[in-house]
Amino acid sequence: MLNLSASFLGAVAFSIATASGVIFAKLMSLFLKEKINPLLDAAGVSAVFVSAREMHLIGRKEDFNNYLLVHAMACNSSVGIGSAICAGIFWSFNLG
């Protein structure tokens, strides 16, 4: 039972993070001269590299000349680095 509820909460968190990333990119595009592709924000939701690849494939389906994999991996990697930094800060609070 515990595994099922943890999996459900993980799926909900992943969905909320993806939706909020796309909404934030659309909001930023309202105020910037250069538009931001909302797929890139969806790629940065976690340190799972599959999300970057999926965003690349979705972008290629819409426009074959679209090559988002490098940009999506950059978003994805920065989330991994940021998570590691935050974990280190939280650990320092816990140990201190």
| Angle separating helix axes 69-95 and 49-62, nearest 10 degrees | 150
Calpha distance 76→65 (Å, rounded):
21
Residue where the block lists tokens 């494939």: 57
Is pLDDT of 2 > 60?
no
8/41: higher pLDDT: 8
CA atoms in the 13 A half-sphere facing the CB of 44: 20
pLDDT of residue 3: 65
pLDDT digits (tens, 9 = 90+) for 23-59: 887 888 888 888 777 776 666 666 567 777 777 788 8
Burial class (CB in 10 A: 0-12, 13-18, 19+), 86: exposed
Q: What is the number of domains present in the chain?
A: 1
Whether this prediction's pTM lies above 0.75 is answered by no
Write out the residue range of the structural domain in which residue 16 sits.
Answer: 2-95
